[in-house]
Structure 1
Amino acid sequence: MKKIFETDWLASQPIFYNELTGKVSENINDVIDFQNFDFHPEGLNNYLDFGYSILEQTPIKHVKFLRHSSKLLINDHGKIEVQYLDDPVEKWMGKTVNENDVFHLLYQSVRNWEESVEGEIVIPTSGGYDSRLLNFLINNKSRIRSFTYGISDNQLKSVEVVYAKKLSEILGTRWEAIQLGEFNSYFRQWNELFGISTHAHGMYHIEFYHQMISKLKGNNPFLSGIGGDWWSGLVPYQDKIVHPKDLYKIAYTHNLHATSEASLLKSKQELLHSYYESQREQLQEWNFQILLMARMKIILISYLIRVPKILFGFNTWAPLLEPEIALSILGLSPERRRNRLWQKDFFQQHGLDLESKKLYFSRYNTLNYQAMERIPLKPLDVDLLRQIIKPAYVQWINNQITQQKFFDKFLLKMYQTPKIGGALWRLGIRDQRLTAYAAYLTLKPLENLLKIKEMYESDRYA
């Protein structure tokens, strides 16, 4: 008798396993032997640099996860066998697809799903291209319940809220804005779901859905636009991938990570080097870069469908993660995909080109600052983390997150001002507080892990 676990073409539902104990689960916490584990040096350092686990290895020795298109089998004796399956992408690469065919496929897929579910359809709506398209594709607009959060000081004037409100007015849907700022209170819930597989930046979505669910009957069908940014042309081509470390350029981390320079565990980066050498030629292709980014980052970004499903009981579906849809979009002309021209023209044809409406809004993103002001962060445990992280680095993080300076906010606004932000980055001028906040969110899961281990050790010697 064999137990079988299998991942799809992206590994959109992560599968974790422990090579020593034979445990397998969709939740990494279920497979960690908290009483007896060691850190995997490269797994830890990659986690620090990327902000999430990559290349099938977590920060813990013998705790791994399945890559895309894989099968894990457990025999009667508890032995694990991992098999790599045929990659469905291979038969799509190089194909060209017509834009009308892509829109027809999207329309038909969403229409079929709409007819298969009951009740109000929830669509998190930023007003961006993906959620805009999904709102448009729903046939019965009266079923739509769309929700938006803002990220500016005045959240109701944020570009996301202003665009989503206008979209709702055009389509005649029911829409509400939700204000955030207390998501730093959800570390426990986040850790219970994701542990040390990824950083904790997605907590704001727990707050978002928590407020959203109170306005609904529950168990609603839920339409997510996750993945649309990847395939549609927003992610640019990286033309200088000449070293294993250049994989970081493709990872699209948004600077949400720590740094392996602070690690006390040294590694030769064998996983990165091996992967780079095996994919050196393909890494020069735009579509392959996008595919690699999606397959690397899915362990993190899947929270967009896992959080609403697991914590709040939504019936989630993400059409842009369906292989036929995603790979059809990748088959569009590169010239039309670049800067998302194919979508821009579509929205203009249907009166949904919100960018031309002369709307007043703010693009400044101060949400993380707002969160730190509302719920101050508890300093990281320097002594506990010194097992793996340089104490001076942890102390620097603690100093930065507890000090609110006027200059920090001013610098943030300068960073988000066109041309000025790029110049500041090239000059090496960084927003230290937000850099520290990202590092904090990356180290916090490691601190939680060490606290649990310490608790077990205390019980053992009590």
Structure 2
Amino acid sequence: MTSKIAGFVLSQSPLKYLPKLNPDLSVKTISGKWGYLYLYSMDKNIAPIEPGVWSLGFPPHKSLLHHNLLLTIEHDNVLIDNDWIGGIPVYFNSEEKIISTFPEVCIGNSPRFDDEGVYLFMKYGFSAFGKTPFADVSMMRYYSSIKFSEEGLTCREKEDPALSVDLSVPAKENEIWDLLEKDIINVLDQTSGTVVSPLSGGFDSRIINALIPCHYKSRVRTYSYGISPDQRKSFESRIAKNIAERLNLKWDQIFLKDAYKYMDLWHDAFGFGTHLHGMMHIEFYQKILQEIDLADSPLLLSGISGSAFQGGHPPEKSVTSPSDLYGLALTHGINSYHWMEYRETEAEARFFEQNKPLFSNLKWYPILTMRIKMSLLHYLYKLPAVMGISSTSPYHNFDIVTKMLSLPGERRDQRKWVNDFFKKKDLYVGNRSLYGDTRNTLNRQLFSNFKFEPLNENLLKSSPIPDELVKQVNRNLNNVGSFAEKANAFFTSQRVVKELLKPLGIKNRLNTYLPSYLAFKALEETLRKHQ
């Protein structure tokens, strides 16, 4: 089995691009009267799934009802088709005639801000609803096609496959477990290398590891990282170690320290698609790669979005207007929304109108959440793939997802159906605080090891971001480590005390300003590189 195609660039003119994250990637070049297609993979011998058809899924396949993107090369055009959830974000610039999974490639040399796109980027913390912060670059909608030819780009949005599914008839739980296991086995059977299966204290990764049959376990390596002040005592890593022991799987803890030094590598791969939030995962995978052999064509099993489909994030209310979409996006406050005046955008209104049939049924909300949020979450696929570990997940199998959504409400509530499975398998975890320290200070630890680089106030003056907000972010983050800031951090990280401080408007200063810094820094880096 070859390695996954980690990304592509399709351009009318020849260009040179290689992700900084992995200069060892092979680049397969295909040209035609329509232009140049570049495919990036660890394997120089990647092959189409049939003549002229390339799959970015793994293992490569033709279905768009699983994690996938298809590139179909014809004589006078290339057709791009993405999957039902938009699991592989695609950016395109109609003026420059370029399409790519790497947004920075699409920007051109004269980036112009898009007021609506910047507003959405600040509000959600990532590019959303087809808009980006830059006027010339758009995003492909889930389950759509783009035709690329000499004449330019033509987009077509296809009928949503969810509209043909009836969720009123509940699936059988045993059937779901069988389908999840079958999906995992299918991947394991088509690969032979090391299986990297990250294991946290949560449900999603525990399910995947529980469903790996015994005769594959010798290939599996599980890894975790801690989030508490002493990472060794974090409940996340201690639960993971306990679960790995019960499942007889090899486990190791990765200790994180220097994530922020990878900001440029992150930005090169993800650009203005999302804020600079995932550098810790670069450090995580780099340390894993020191223990495994890339020549072995390793595989990664991801738990991406499993909790949402299992019932882990039940909607708090019905979405009855575009103004309700923010609550559906589950941003967890990793954005600049609290600094902004609300306004309704055309992009949000369009998403709301297109999905009205699904908004009438709360069971569909997890899919709508993930479609909004996939431009952020897809790094769980993309990052390991670019770094050399082919990635996949059973949780983006449309058949499995719809069956999970069809379960009765009382079984999805608190994920009772999953907890019952864990109890049956002796994998149930009760009070997580009994396993270790539940405090999350990882951002602070990593930021403390970073020489703060203030936002470039002059460079960002050309953006719609208020000047005073940029200055405010710089002032507050420049004071991280001072006596007053340390006192603020201490009291706002104590579970009982921080709840008493909230009504007084006292919040953790680093956690308040860091999300805005990471979003604005992403836009600043794009300007710096392309102006």
**Same fold, judged at TM 0.5 (above):** yes
Q: Which residue of 2 aligns with 1:26?
A: 101
CA distance in 1 between counterparts of 2:324 and 2:414 reads 23
Q: Deviations over 1:86-133 (max 9, x none)?
A: 322222242421111100111122122222210221101103111111
Q: Which residue of 2 aligns with 1:159?
A: 235
Q: Which residue of 2 aligns with 1:97?
A: 171
Q: Which residue of 2 aligns with 1:369?
A: 444
Asked if 1:108 is matched to 2:182, the reply is yes
Report SS of the residue matched to 1:355. Answer: coil
Asked if 1:453 is matched to 2:527, the reply is no
Q: Which residue of 2 aligns with 1:459?
A: none
Deviation at 1:18, TM superposition (A): 0.7
Deviation at 1:428, TM superposition (A): 4.1
Asked if 1:194 is matched to 2:267, the reply is no
Q: Are the equivalent residues in 2 in contact too, given 1:226–1:320 (CA < 8 A)?
A: yes
Report SS of the residue matched to 1:186. Answer: helix
Q: Give the direction of change, closer, same or farther, for the CA distance of 1:22–1:57 in structure 2 (3 Å limit).
A: same
Q: Which residue of 2 aligns with 1:181?
A: 257
Q: Which residue of 1 aligns with 2:59?
A: none
Deviation at 1:262, TM superposition (A): 6.1
Q: Are the equivalent residues in 1 in contact too, given 2:197–2:223 (CA < 8 A)?
A: yes
Deviation at 1:268, TM superposition (A): 5.7
CA distance in 1 between counterparts of 2:385 and 2:337 reads 32
Q: Which residue of 1 aligns with 2:469?
A: 393
Structure 1, unaligned runs of 5 or more: 455-462
Report SS of the residue matched to 1:124. Answer: coil
Asked if 1:85 is matched to 2:158, the reply is yes
Asked if 1:349 is matched to 2:427, the reply is no
Deviation at 1:390, TM superposition (A): 1.9
Q: Deviations over 1:317-362 (max 9, x none)?
A: 1111121222221121121112111100110011101226984301
CA distance in 1 between counterparts of 2:165 and 2:255 reads 42
- More helix per residue: 1
Q: Which residue of 1 aligns with 2:113?
A: 39
CA distance in 1 between counterparts of 2:444 and 2:224 reads 19
* Equivalent residue for 2:85, pick from 1, 7, 10: 10
* Equivalent residue for 1:309, pick from 366, 376, 385: 385
Deviation at 1:76, TM superposition (A): 3.0
Report SS of the residue matched to 1:147. Answer: strand
Q: Give the direction of change, closer, same or farther, for the CA distance of 1:160–1:448 in structure 2 (3 Å limit).
A: same
Task: Calculate the TM-score normalised by the size of structure 1.
Answer: 0.91
Q: Which residue of 2 aligns with 1:437?
A: 514
Asked if 1:241 is matched to 2:316, the reply is no
- More strand per residue: 2
Instruction: Tell me the percent identity.
Output: 29
Deviation at 1:286, TM superposition (A): 2.2
Report SS of the residue matched to 2:458. Answer: helix
* Equivalent residue for 1:210, pick from 281, 286, 293: 286
CA distance in 2 between counterparts of 1:125 and 1:324 reads 25
Q: Are the equivalent residues in 2 in contact too, given 1:258–1:443 (CA < 8 A)?
A: no
RMSD between superposed Cα atoms in Å? 2.1
CA distance in 1 between counterparts of 2:95 and 2:158 reads 23
Code of the aligned partner of 1:103: W
Deviation at 1:288, TM superposition (A): 2.6
Asked if 1:226 is matched to 2:304, the reply is yes
Report SS of the residue matched to 2:156. Answer: strand
Q: Deviations over 1:290-309 (max 9, x none)?
A: 11110011111000110000
Structure 2, unaligned runs of 5 or more: 1-75
Report SS of the residue matched to 1:413. Answer: coil
User: Bigger CA drift: 108-117 or 52-61?
Assistant: 108-117
Deviation at 1:259, TM superposition (A): 3.9
Report SS of the residue matched to 1:290. Answer: helix
Task: Calculate the TM-score normalised by the size of structure 2.
Answer: 0.80
User: Bigger CA drift: 344-353 or 270-279?
Assistant: 270-279
Deviation at 1:281, TM superposition (A): 6.2
Aligned residues: 446
Asked if 1:275 is matched to 2:351, the reply is yes
